[in-house]
């Protein structure tokens, strides 16, 4: 759609060759609760989806990779979606080394944390054509400064940290359920491992 938007601005009536599902590989970085759901939903639409996480996960219909298989995961990836937690190991992970391993003309979607992205490396990858476009929902400094170069780049879509808005009523219900389960001695989910940072 970004290409059709550019054609519209030029008032050009032109059909583009569609991508095949098999060749439009989507890579999900981070296979926690959110990443697993995103991967499964995309696969249900017929996309070729693969996922990468610190430890190898088993998800039906998804090719999964562990930390040691990062290069294999990146190969042939056309769209990279970042849903990693923010830890010292993941800071700056979206960098020129990663971009260079993606398929030429790849797309980046970062909906995790701003500190994952090396901004200068993104701009360089866009300038060289290694990346075709990026959608960014999170930034090092928020709100994004009105003078920031990202606003001026047509290949970058900026959204104001809206990818996972917490609804207060829903959150309170979840917290109450967890507290009741904890008090009853039942197993609870979503407990942060302080050593890992997520």
Phi and psi, residue 147, nearest 5°: -90, -5
Mark 135-164 as b/e (b = at least 16 C-beta within 10 Å). Answer: bbbbbeeeebeeebebeebebbeeeebeee
The closest alpha carbon to 31, from 20, 40, 22, 21, belongs to 40
DSSP designation for 94: B
The closest alpha carbon to 69, from 37, 101, 32, 42, belongs to 101
How would you classify residue 11: left for phi > 0, otherwise alpha for psi between -120 and 50, otherwise beta? Answer: left
> 166 to each of 85, 122, 163, how far by Cα in Å?
17, 29, 10
Q: Is there a catalytic annotation at residue 116?
A: no
Q: Which of 11, 41, 113, 148 is catalytic?
A: 113
Q: Is there a catalytic annotation at residue 113?
A: yes
> 65 to each of 3, 48, 70, 161, how far by Cα in Å?
31, 14, 7, 28
Q: Which of 54, 148, 153, 161 is catalytic?
A: 161
Tokens for 108? 């980046």
Active site residues: 113, 161
């Amino acid at each position: 759609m970004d290409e059709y938007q550019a054609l519209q601005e030029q008032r050009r009536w032109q059909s583009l060759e569609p991508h095949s599902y098999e060749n439009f590989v989507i890579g999900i970085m981070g296979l926690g609760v959110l990443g697993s759901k995103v991967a499964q939903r995309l696969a249900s639409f017929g996309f070729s989806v693969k996922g990468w996480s610190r430890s190898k996960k088993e998800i039906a219909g998804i090719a999964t990779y562990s930390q040691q298989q990062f290069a294999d995961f990146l190969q042939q990836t056309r769209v990279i979606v970042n849903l990693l937690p923010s830890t010292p190991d993941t800071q700056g992970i979206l960098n020129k080394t990663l971009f260079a391993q993606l398929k030429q003309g790849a797309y980046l979607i970062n909906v995790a944390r701003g500190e994952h992205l090396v901004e200068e490396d993104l701009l360089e990858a866009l300038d060289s054509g290694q990346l075709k476009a990026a959608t960014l929902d999170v930034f090092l400094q928020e709100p994004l400064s009105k003078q920031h170069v990202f606003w001026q780049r047509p290949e970058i879509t900026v959204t104001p940290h809206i990818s996972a808005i917490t609804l207060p009523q829903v959150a309170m219900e979840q917290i109450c359920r967890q507290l009741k389960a904890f008090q009853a001695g039942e197993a609870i989910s979503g407990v942060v491992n302080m050593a890992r940072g997520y």
